[in-house]
Amino acid sequence: MASEAVLKFLEEHNRPFSISEVERGVTGDFGKTAIQKALDSLVQKENVKEKVYCIMQKDDGSSSELRESLLEIDRKINERALQLKEVTDKLKSYSADVAQLKGKITLADAMNQKLQLEKELEDVKTQLEKYSETKIICPKRKLLSEKEYEKYLSDYKKRKRICMDVVNSILENYSKSKKHLFEDIGIETDEDVGFSLNKL
């Protein structure tokens, strides 16, 4: 019968349906009128434009049992929320540790740096020993040497100027170039011998 088929369909799916959905879902060769009559026989008729039909939910327990069940569910939800918070806090802590460790070097890198620094230290010690063996010049002697250097430099510049004045006087009546004159006389310039005051 249509009523049995409709009731079976509603029990299997256990959710609200419109009459069109019930008609499409019920197995068997039932028309819309038969489906409508079956639904009307299962519920009381109401004055509405469109009806939604669903299976009546069974009340397996009292309201106190239902309240207990809801409290138990709330308790479990709170437990899970606390567990989630603990896990989240641990994750944040681990993430902070990882971020801190990213800026640090590994043990292997630290050992390599240590070896490099030890080598540099040995080089510095070697240079220090070399400089330690060098005799320190007395400040008075250094000052005396600097004065002698200034005197010789001044004499050198003066003699060079006198020499060039003589050469320029000769060049006024000389038919060849300055280079030829230097070759004829046997004068070597600073450039010829690679001498420079800047190197002193």
Neighbours of 42 (CB within 10 A): 14
> Which token pair is 78?
């709170």
Give the pLDDT confidence of 68-93 residue by residue, as tens digits: 888 899 899 999 999 999 999 999 99
Give the pLDDT confidence of 4-61 residue by residue, as tens digits: 888 888 888 878 888 888 888 887 788 888 888 888 887 754 533 456 666 666 666 6
Helices (H) and strands (E) in the chain, counts: 8, 2
pLDDT at 160 over 50: yes
CATH fold of 2-53 reads Arc Repressor Mutant, subunit A (1.10.10)
